[in-house]
């Protein structure tokens, strides 16, 4: 199975700062990569699919990039509502696999 | 508006069975791909199962042979039959829509239903 590795595990930042999250696949997934935001007590929220296609309603301060094995989620200017856990997921091959997540916390 | 809502969770014994449901509105379950994802307490997201619009099904390794995904076209509802329950099946179970076969990312999610397996 394709292993998705996210780094760092935790990112401590202040509102207004830039967040850069990494997701690496153990083999190429082309651009079959999605990003989700997860807050406690809430359902996950789709942010990006196709590595860089913003889902409906996602603010432009969020951007996704990469292809093959290396992907990046960037939040240009952190807002208070952006502090959450972010997961990547590949859908290139079965079984579908998620990374372990990156927690973006308030510094 | 596309909406899904899970139900059927609760406390169950190891070795037991249950069926969780996912009621859909704003779209037709039978004409769409859908899936289940779970999150154990303090853990990350784990894919469980997917059903295509043509009825083809897929399962994660940890549930293969124990769980069965299905749907009721008249009730417009997705199901997950869970047998031979284990303590490590304890999780919040989410259903979600998938836009198209071959693009299995999860688009619209329900609020989840909590399944606890404990003696």
Q: Collapsing DSSP states into helix, strand and coil, what is residue B88? A: helix
* CA distances, A52 to each of A95, B20, B66 (Å): 22, 33, 36
- A58, A95, A102: which to substitute to probe chain B, counting the most B Cβ within 10 Å? A95
- A40, A43, A64: which to substitute to probe chain B, counting the most B Cβ within 10 Å? A43
Alpha-carbon gap: B94 to the closest alpha carbon of chain A (Å): 8
User: What's residue A2's pLDDT?
Assistant: 98
Contact B98, B50 (CB under 8 A): yes
CB contact under 8 A, B44 and A34: no
- Beta-carbon contacts of A75 under 8 Å, excluding residues fewer than 6 positions away, are A18, A19, A61, A62, A82, A104
User: What's residue B45's pLDDT?
Assistant: 98
Contacting B with CB below 8 Å, chain A residues are: 1, 32, 34, 36, 38, 42-46, 49, 55, 85, 87, 89, 91, 94-101
Task: Please give the Cα distance from B77 to B35 (Å, whole number).
Answer: 12
Of A31, B74, B71, the C-alpha closest to A23 is: A31
Radius of gyration (C-alpha) of chain A in whole angstroms? 13
Which residue is closest to A42 within chain B, CA to CA? B111
pLDDT digits (tens, 9 = 90+) for B59-107: 999 999 999 999 999 999 999 999 999 999 999 999 999 999 889 999 9
Which residue is closest to B106 within chain A, CA to CA? A46
* CA distances, B10 to each of A9, A46, A97, B78 (Å): 31, 27, 26, 18
Phi, psi for residue B31 in degrees, rounded to 5: -100, 5
* CA distances, A25 to each of A6, A16, A91, B22, B108 (Å): 9, 29, 11, 31, 24
Burial of A83 (0-12, 13-18, 19+ CB in 10 A): middle
Which residues does chain B have within 8 Å of residue A45's beta carbon, measured at their own beta carbons? 109
pLDDT digits (tens, 9 = 90+) for A72-107: 999 999 999 999 999 999 999 999 999 999 999 999
């Amino acid at each position: 199975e394709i292993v998705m590795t996210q780094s760092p595990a935790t990112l401590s930042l202040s509102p207004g700062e830039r967040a850069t999250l990494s997701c690496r696949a153990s083999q190429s997934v082309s651009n079959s990569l999605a990003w989700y935001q997860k807050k406690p007590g809430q359902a996950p929220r789709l942010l990006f699919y196709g590595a860089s296609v913003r889902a409906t309603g996602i603010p432009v301060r969020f951007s996704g990039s990469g292809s093959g094995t290396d992907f990046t989620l960037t939040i240009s200017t952190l807002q208070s509502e952006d502090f959450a856990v972010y997961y990547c997921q590949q859908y290139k091959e079965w079984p579908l696999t998620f990374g372990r997540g990156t927690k973006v916390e308030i510094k | 508006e596309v909406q899904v809502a899970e139900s059927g969770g609760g406390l169950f014994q190891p070795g037991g069975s249950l069926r969780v449901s996912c009621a859909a509105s704003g779209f037709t379950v039978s004409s769409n791909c859908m899936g289940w994802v779970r999150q154990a307490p303090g853990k990350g997201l784990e894919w469980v199962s997917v059903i295509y619009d043509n009825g083809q099904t897929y399962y994660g390794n940890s549930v293969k042979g124990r769980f069965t995904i299905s749907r009721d076209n008249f009730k417009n509802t997705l199901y997950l039959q869970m047998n031979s329950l284990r303590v490590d099946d304890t999780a919040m179970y989410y259903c979600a829509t998938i836009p198209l076969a071959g693009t299995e990312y999860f688009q619209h999610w329900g609020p989840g239903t909590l399944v606890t397996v404990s003696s």
